[in-house]
Amino acid sequence: MGNDGGSIPRRIELVKEAARKPDTSTLRATLLEAQTHAWTTCPISNHPLAPPIASDYAGTLYNKDAVLEQLLPKSDTTTSEDVFHGRVKCLRDVVEVVFTTIGTGKNEKRICPITSKELGPSTRSVYLVPCGHVFSEAAILEVKSERCLKCNEIYTRDNTINILPNTPEQVDRLAERIQKLRDADLTHSLKKIPGVKKRRREAAAAGLNSLDRTTLTTNGINNAATASLTSKVLVEQEERNKRRRNGMNDNLKSLFSVKDHSTIRKKDDFMTRGFSIPTKKI
């Protein structure tokens, strides 16, 4: 009973109500709630976001001290991989984000330095690489400058990173950008990938070794036959040397054998019998 005059809801009505797709207003409310949490909370430590704040190539915001703690050497590296989803492997994979703020304490607000509009989950915002200054996306598109309006640092359109992107177009653009940077051996912060020269040298050495083996195989029967014949000759020579050494040892033993005097027999000659003083009988 629903306490409304005797109406009894049927099971089918309850199931349909639960399985109904959310409408546009519900989706917007859910997205706004998720964006608000991401704008105010570090996903690693679950602490409130506070300067210094860092961001990866996907526009996710972190507390920089939490990033440093995760990147410290540890026995189990799977935890860091799960936390960053493979996006952050070193400090060069993040950029420190610099917000323009007004007010202090609870009244502090992040604003766009051009339009003075408050930045947050309801405003599309971007930051520039490599300087990290944050602006509203509309202001950057309107100004069309090649230098940061805060620090005069040169940047390109590709290096404007959407903060917490929520559309497939923004996500695809950022994924395409990082792929181009990795092809050029660069990280999200436009710095060189650490250890890339060493890996290139190792790859080049491995390629040369495989090339030598391939050349030896493809040169064909002559090289293989020569190697086989050489190995047989070396084996035979080693066997002859062994027999010669064994023969010399037997000859030397026969000349310098040590025998007990009690076992001396008449057939032994004076060379091998040795000299002994006869004892007097009393």
List pLDDT tens digits, range 107-153: 899 999 999 999 999 999 999 999 999 999 999 999 888 899 999 99
Does 252 have pLDDT greater than 50? yes
Does 3 have pLDDT greater than 60? no
Please give the Cα distance from 228 to 217 (Å, whole number): 14
Going through the chain in order, the beta strands assigned E by DSSP cover 53-55, 61-63, 95-97, 100-102, 109-111, 125-128, 134-136, 160-162
Which pLDDT band holds residue 106 (cuts at 50, 70, 90)? confident
Does 79 have pLDDT greater than 90? no
Q: For residue 56, what pLDDT is reported?
A: 95
Highest mean pLDDT among 21-30, 73-82, 268-277: 21-30
CATH top-level class of 41-201? alpha beta
Which stretch of DSSP H or E encloses residue 27? helix 24-40
Q: For residue 249, what pLDDT is reported?
A: 58
Helical pair 196-219 and 221-255, crossing angle rounded to 10 deg: 90
According to DSSP, the β-strands at 100-102 and 53-55 are unpaired
Does 228 have pLDDT greater than 60? yes
Question: pLDDT tens digits, residue range 43-62?
Answer: 999 999 999 999 999 999 99
Q: What is the mean pLDDT of residues 236-261?
A: 66
Where do the domains of the chain lie? 41-201
Residues 6+ apart with CB under 8 A from 216: 223
Please give the Cα distance from 99 to 111 (Å, whole number): 7
Q: Residue type at 74?
A: K
pTM, two decimals, is 0.63
Supply 64's token pair: 């920089």
Q: For residue 153, what pLDDT is reported?
A: 93
**Does residue 181 or residue 226 have the better pLDDT?**
181
Which pLDDT band holds residue 218 (cuts at 50, 70, 90)? very low
The region of weakest confidence among 191-195, 205-209, 233-237, 268-272 is 268-272
User: What is the number of other CB atoms lying within 10 angstroms of the CB of residue 53?
Assistant: 22
User: What is the number of other CB atoms lying within 10 angstroms of the CB of residue 193?
Assistant: 17
